[in-house]
A and B are shown apart, each in its own frame.
Chain A
Amino acid sequence: MTRFTKMAVAAVVAGIAATSALAQELYTPNLAYRTGPFAATGIPLMNGQADYFTMLNARDGGIGGVPVNAEECETGYSTEKGVECYEKTKDRSIVTQPWSTGITLQVLPKTNVDEIPILAPGYGFSPMMDGETFQWAFNIPAGYWDAADMIIQYLEEQGDLEGKKIAFLHLDHPFGKEPLPVLEMHAENKGFELVPIPVGLKEMQNQSAQWLQIRRERPDYVVMWGWGAMNAGAITEAVKTKFPMENFLGVWWAGHDADLKIVGEDGKGYKSISWSFPNPDAPVMQDIQTHVVEPGLTQSNPEEMAGVFYSRGIIISAILGEGIRVAQEEFDTAEISPSQLRWGLENINMTEERIAELGLDGMVPPFQTSCSDHTGNSGGWMLEWDGEKFVKASELMTANVEGYADIVSAKADEYAEANQPWAVNEDCES
């Protein structure tokens, strides 16, 4: 054998070995944002997500014996970069995690053609709940319309909303406008006045105009749909303008400990609806401590790990992990395909028992997905800032999904109509 032939054979063998090595993993890329104006929100979430899979890889050798490769592709929360990341990772990935409503809306039509599941836990396009129309998209365990509905339910428990005024302070971005259909529906049905107040990306840290409007309008409540630096900007302005914090509520992305720590005691009473809650005593936290923190594999720190967002990152990865596990069991293979993962995500049954088995006690409410329900509608707790940390201010609440089911199907049909040809899952019976 000539030297050239030996080298060629070696190259082929190395190539085959590399290919099989690549295949021996579950590639679940994360379109992360650790940089840019929204990094403050992104970093604890990404750290929680990454640490959970690092723990699974170290403790169990991955899922079903196959390691999870949760490689991050940095988007800086930019929609353009997010689409580039999707294109770059789609050939090998079994799922895409777009991490912004803007990116989700851009990749949604692409995934329907590429047949890759989108996992957008607690964000994205709310009608994705309709699994028949959005067969490849999931916003498990709750969507923005669930959040809007639960916030209104909570406010109604405080007193009749008839004749009241609710200011809706939101990021002037697809994410910020997402709950408007449900809020408008409730305003009409319950007789309160909804005052939308947009905050531009450049105004996130200087919201004096928005809070002057709030002072002039004298709303009974302010509901905030904020992300990133907008939350800290709004909370500091609320304190500055002496708005009663107990009448100020936010979506789950506006409930970050670090944003409230800036105002500390002055933020007491501020509330945020949430489908996750930190439990430092949960077994999963002990396992992360043993397998990730102690070997020095985490990018997080103890303060961040005690917060709401880090634990939410863990839950997000746990949901994906559960979807993978369900698919592996159903199809009797450890290396699942994107379509098999779709089946897995459609058949998650996160009961109290299963939550305990996963070591997530008290960190997420029970929920169940199906072919027709790609959200699961877990419900959530109203959290309240006590001056130092978030505590639960309510029992587990659930969204009245029936109340806006018509809007879900109408918007889903509208989307499918506008994006023809749009493949739907006709085998899926609701």
Chain B
Amino acid sequence: MLKDIFINPFVDMVEAPDFLLQVLWEGLVSGVLYALIALGFVLIFRSSRIFNFAQGIMVVFAALTLVGLHSFGVPAWISVLLTLGVMFVLAVGIERVVLRPLVGQPDIILFMATIGITLFLIGGGEIIFGGENKQMITEELGIPTGDTVLEPWGGLLILQHLDITVVVVACALVAALLAFLNYTQMGRAIRALGDDHQAALSVGISLQTVWVLVWFIAGIIALVTGIAWGARAGVSFALEVIAYKALPVLMLGGLESIAGAIIGGLMIGLMEKLFEIYWGQPLLGGNTETWFAFVLALIVLLFRPQGLFGERIIERV
């Protein structure tokens, strides 16, 4: 037993390094996608202290809008722009109808409000688009769909062009977001609001504008995530459950940390894949990905309740 845990997995890794590379690549792709979803949560939490339960359904809604618009004959890239428009209108609507009347209410009320948004988007999405699995317009968007086959150490490594594109686009999006948050006035306003609401308001930062902006950015992230996941296995309401994979990422990285979301996402993507392949499948019958990330996050929380990168909260009584 000890040999199966401490020796055999590493022997397997050394004996089939091409397979190990494939596992790491798949883990990296999953990790990048988890990080993207987690970023959507973090941005909204930083600026408003709201845990946005609706992030998952926003992914579905954005992807369905894109595919739906295209099915009416709208060219692919015009559909992308129109979908961004829809996500902006959604952000304005959420700020006006849901968030503004709830300013000053306890966090749990705002959290419950996002559950309401989720149910609204599920119902609205099903009425407008139906629940059938739809094909993502991958080729129409010019996303490459072939693969590159490499033979490292005489083995086999398959790199899907779609996955490479996803990794590149996600990295570019994260870099653009970081640049926006660090080097623009509005980005600094978002960070200021995240640091101290009262202080930010006292220097004239508009809460309403920032909320609309962060929900819109979350909408952009949702669209990119929806395209990436939808291109893999179609667009349906099943995509919503993928958002729950971001929860352990947030626990691990910290709800307020953008770096935490990125590093946490990558860590979980890589570690859960390695664990599943080399320990989970041989020793536990597989399907450990459903719980591994949560256990990992739980262990981290035991030692760092604020997550790896979260801010330590000191409350004086």
Contact = CB atoms under 8 A, between A and B. Distances in A.
Interface of A: 34-40, 42-44, 172, 196-206, 208-210, 212-213, 215-216, 228-229, 232-233, 236-237, 240-242, 258-259, 261-262, 304
Interface string B245-266: 1000000000000000000000
Interface in B213-244: 229, 232-234, 236-242, 244
Interface of B: 16, 19, 22-23, 26, 29-30, 122, 126, 130-133, 135, 147, 158, 160, 229, 232-234, 236-242, 244-245, 273, 276-277, 281, 285-287, 289-290
Contacts of B229: 205-206
Given A202-B244, A212-B23, A261-B135, A229 B158 contact: no
A35 B131 contact: yes
A198 B284 CA distance: 11
Contacts of B245: 202
A37 B240 contact: yes
Contact of A197 (B135, B158, B286): B286
A38 B273 CA distance: 25
Nearest to A228: B238
A208 B131 contact: no
A153 B158 CA distance: 34
A208 B241 CA distance: 16
A262 B131 contact: no
A233 B133 CA distance: 11
A205 B238 contact: yes
Given A199-B287, A200-B290, A209 B160 contact: no
Given A39-B126, A262-B234, 15 more contacts: A43-B131, A43-B132, A44-B132, A201-B241, A205-B233, A208-B29, A212-B22, A229-B133, A229-B234, A232-B233, A232-B234, A232-B236, A233-B233, A242-B158, A262-B233
Nearest to A213: B281
A196 B238 CA distance: 23
- The residue among B19, B132, B240 with the most chain A CB atoms within 10 A of its own CB is B132
Contacts of B23: 212
A37 B237 contact: yes
11 contacts: A37-B237, A44-B132, A197-B286, A202-B289, A204-B238, A205-B239, A206-B229, A208-B273, A212-B273, A229-B236, A258-B133
3 shortest interchain CB distances as A-B pairs: A39-B131, A229-B238, A40-B133
B285 A209 contact: no
B125 to A, nearest CB: 10
A230 to B, nearest CB: 8
B218 to A, nearest CB: 21
A172 B242 contact: no
B232 A40 contact: no
A227 B125 CA distance: 22
A304 B131 CA distance: 13
Contacts of B241: 37, 201-202, 204
A339 to B, nearest CB: 36
B132 A39 contact: yes
A262 B133 contact: yes
B133 A232 contact: yes
Contacts of B147: 240
B32 to A, nearest CB: 12
B121 to A, nearest CB: 12
Given A172-B287, A229-B234, A40 B273 contact: no
B294 to A, nearest CB: 11
Contact of B30 (A36, A208, A241, A261): A208
B126 A40 contact: no
B26 A198 contact: no
B286 A198 contact: yes
Contact of A40 (B29, B131, B242, B281): B131
A89 to B, nearest CB: 22
Nearest to B26: A208
Given A37-B240, A229-B238, A242-B158, A206 B30 contact: yes
Contacts of A199: 287
Nearest to B287: A198
A202 B286 CA distance: 14
Contacts of B22: 212, 215
Contacts of A39: 126, 131-132, 236-237
B242 to A, nearest CB: 6
Contacts of B238: 36-38, 40, 204-205, 228-229
Contacts of B234: 40, 229, 232, 236, 258-259, 262
A324 to B, nearest CB: 29
Contacts of A43: 130-132
B242 A205 contact: yes
